[in-house]
Amino acid sequence: MDSRNPAAGILAVALKAWKWCMSAEYVQEPACGRDDARCRVGTRVDPARSIGAIPLRKHTYRVACVGLALALVACAPASDSVASQFAATDAASACPIDSFEVFIERFDREIAFQELTTADPLVVERYDTAAEPEPRRVVEDVALADVSWPVMPRLDLVGGSGRTYDIAPAADGRMEVRVRMPDTSDQQRYVFGRSPCWQLQRVVDESI
């Protein structure tokens, strides 16, 4: 069976079982005297002399084979689903940190970890304050090599400058870290998502 495509392997086995069952010959129990030369054990049944279309034992065996083939076919879609679940589980288990709370604590304090867990490219949204006649919002894909580190300020230090931060869920299972100066437009949002592990995917600077 092809391990890369379990469904195709199961279907191939089912087809082989069906063909074997349909082509197999079976031995019929002797129905005459022991001394009759026509009724030796092991003699194949002559279809022209058989009574009925299919002997009872042969009919029962074929029904069992058909049931087995149908069961194998029915298992094929489930095999793909199970394989997908195992693949997703393996991918999740390969991530060094599963909890976002633990992840963001390390991301906050280690620049090397930021470099490893930032998307390439990183989507950056900001206002072009030099645009005329008024500031214009722009979106850029910034290559990882061009990102300035640290990409996010130390959360345990932002309070010293009068700024605050909070962490909240966003759409599609993502998480946002918002750093802002109260009563001003000075606010940055750092959006994290799984791909399949946690990584910084978008930075939104709303300062004007």
Tens digits of residue pLDDT in 93-107? 589 899 999 999 999
More confident site: 92 or 12 = 12
**Which pLDDT band, with edges at 50, 70 and 90, does 159 fall under?**
confident
ω into 135 cis (within 30 of 0): no
> What CA–CA distance (Å, rounded) separates 79 from 84?
9
Between 188 and 92, where is the model more confident? 188
The SS3 assignment for 194 reads strand
Query: pLDDT per residue over 67-79, tens digit each?
Result: 554 554 455 444 4
Strands 175-180 and 164-169, how do they pair?
A: antiparallel
Q: What residue has token string 């149908």?
A: 70
Adjacency order of strands within the sheet including 118-128: 136-142, 118-128, 198-205, 187-194, 175-180, 164-169
* pTM exceeds 0.75 for this model: no
- Contacts of 170 by beta carbon, 8 Å cutoff, 6+ apart: 176, 191
| The pair of three-digit structure tokens given for residue 46, joined into one six-digit string | 């002559």
Choose the most confident range, by mean pLDDT, from 16-20, 35-39, 182-186.
182-186
Please tell me whether residue 157 adopts helix, strand or coil conformation: coil
Classified as helix, coil or strand, 125 is strand
pLDDT in tens, 29-67: 445 555 555 545 444 444 444 444 444 444 444 545 545
